[in-house]
């Protein structure tokens, strides 16, 4: 008896930074190597968390790693990010996080006070998000081998009643809802590295989006088709994945996409597209048109959701593509992130 060999399509000769940047290269790696070897014959589009059936109970499960540099930055730190990131991956899959487990990879020589600060940050973030930390593991590697510390988390959650999300359920005319201004996290980290000698009054947006997702579920549960938190690769990459998975187009009104002047200014200066910049406390939701107003009202009425806005809608054509329209009549194709964002020189 012969078992059909999984088809490996990943042909890149070596792993590069771009494979971890969340854009095209990351997708190629996951779909071309991990999926065929690990996920078997499942053809489900790859989401932020997997929903699996355990003896008749549906649970959501996710895992995430954190390798941010620097460890602390305005508005947050690696520990806080690790909790919020995992809670958010579950939330946008339509689940409420119940418990996390945590692995620390630490460098020898790491000052205890730094570790303690991060553990405290995790405890506080977990309390705020209403999730328990149920266990974990610790490994120590030689000095200089792990950029001080890496954190890996796994989270388990229960589905929020009434929500059924899938890219396949998205229809032309559905609205694209964004929870708030984009780019705060990515630009904050870029500036915190200090390579640029730019200063700005800006904080990471890291937070749990669960309260916002739950408010949305209460107001428009059956109208929510799909959600995603636009982390690495930004809004552009998340929406391109959606366009590809559902076979429809996304038409964005570029002028409606909220962002702070500091983010816009930094992107203008550095030649970056804010739609490619990472967020850690925002999410995108596709809402059936008839539920869109109620959904928007519900978000705006929830603390932290007052800047939510509808930024576009789904359309039949251009299939599989994200288009940005400006208020003066120009349009452009908005692609996924390619490589790591590199600034232009002139």
Partner 1 sequence: MKFVDEFREPGVIGKASGEIRRLADPKRHYRFMEVCGGHTHAIYRFGLKDLLPSNIELVHGPGCPVCVLPMGRIDDGLSMAQDPNVIFTAFGDMMRVPGTNGSPLEHKARGMDVRIIYSPSDALKLAQKNPDKHVMFFAIGFETTAPSTALTLIRAKELGLSNFSVFSNHVTIIPAIRAILDSPDMRIDAFIGPGHVSTVIGCRPYEWIAKNEGKPIVVSGFEPVDVLQSIVMLLQQLQAGEAKVENQYKRVVPWEGSRPALRAMAEVFELRPYFEWRGMGFISQSALSIRDSYAQWDAEKRFQVPGVRVTDPKAAQCGEVLKGVLKPVQCKLFGKECTPERPVGALMVSSEGSCAAYFNYEHRKAAVLTSIGAAV
Which residues lie near partner 1 (CB under 8 A)? 14-18, 24-25, 195-196, 249, 261, 264-265, 268, 271, 317-319, 321, 323-333, 335, 338-339, 342-346
| CA 261 to the chain's CA centroid | 22
Q: Are the C-beta atoms of residues 226 and 169 closer than 8 Å to each other?
A: yes
Give the pair of three-digit tokens for residue 99: 């418990």
Distance in angstroms (rounded) separating the CA atoms of residues 60 and 97: 8
CB of 310 to partner 1, least distance (A): 20
The residue written with tokens 């065929």 in the block is 36
Nearer residue to partner 1 within complex by CB, 135 or 339: 339
Nearer residue to partner 1 within complex by CB, 52 or 333: 333
Count CB-CB contacts under 10 A for residue 216: 31
CB of 312 to partner 1, least distance (A): 15
Residue 11 vs residues 31, 33, 255, 257: alpha-carbon distances, Å: 12, 9, 39, 36
CB of 260 to partner 1, least distance (A): 10
CB of 148 to partner 1, least distance (A): 20
Nearer residue to partner 1 within complex by CB, 55 or 328: 328
Nearer residue to partner 1 within complex by CB, 136 or 320: 320
CB of 27 to partner 1, least distance (A): 11
Distance in angstroms (rounded) separating the CA atoms of residues 123 and 137: 16
Distance in angstroms (rounded) separating the CA atoms of residues 107 and 150: 9
Nearer residue to partner 1 within complex by CB, 51 or 264: 264
Count CB-CB contacts under 10 A for residue 127: 12
């Amino acid at each position: 008896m012969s078992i059909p060999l999984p088809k490996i399509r990943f042909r890149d000769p070596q792993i590069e930074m771009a494979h971890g940047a969340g854009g095209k290269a990351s997708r190629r790696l996951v779909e071309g190597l991990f999926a065929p070897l690990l996920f078997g014959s499942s053809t489900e589009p790859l989401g932020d968390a997997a929903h699996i059936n355990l003896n008749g109970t549906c649970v959501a499960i996710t895992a995430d790693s954190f390798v941010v540099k620097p460890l602390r930055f305005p508005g947050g730190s690696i520990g806080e990010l690790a909790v919020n990131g995992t809670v958010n991956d579950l939330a946008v899959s339509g689940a409420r996080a119940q418990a996390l487990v945590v692995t620390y990879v630490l460098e020898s020589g790491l000052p205890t006070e730094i570790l303690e600060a991060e553990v405290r940050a995790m405890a506080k973030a977990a309390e705020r998000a209403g999730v328990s930390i149920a266990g974990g593991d610790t490994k120590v590697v030689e000095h200089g081998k792990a950029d001080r510390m890496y954190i890996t988390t796994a989270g388990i959650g229960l589905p929020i009643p009434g929500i059924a999300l899938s890219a396949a359920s998205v229809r032309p005319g559905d609205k694209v809802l964004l929870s708030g201004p984009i780019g705060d996290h990515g630009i904050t980290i870029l500036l915190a590295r200090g390579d640029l000698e730019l200063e700005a009054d800006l904080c990471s947006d890291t937070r749990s989006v669960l309260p916002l997702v739950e408010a949305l579920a209460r107001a428009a549960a059956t109208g929510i088709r799909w959600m995603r938190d636009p982390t690495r690769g930004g809004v552009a990459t998340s929406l391109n994945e959606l366009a590809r998975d559902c076979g429809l187009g996304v038409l964005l009104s570029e002028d409606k996409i909220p962002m702070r002047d500091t983010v816009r200014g930094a992107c203008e200066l550095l030649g970056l597209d804010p739609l490619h910049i990472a967020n850690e406390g925002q999410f995108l939701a596709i809402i059936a048109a008839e539920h869109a107003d109620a959904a928007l009202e519900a978000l705006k009425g929830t603390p932290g959701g007052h800047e939510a806005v509808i930024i576009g809608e789904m359309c039949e054509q251009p299939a599989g593509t994200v288009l940005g329209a400006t208020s003066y009549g120009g349009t452009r194709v908005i692609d996924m992130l390619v490589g790591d964002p590199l600034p232009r020189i002139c």
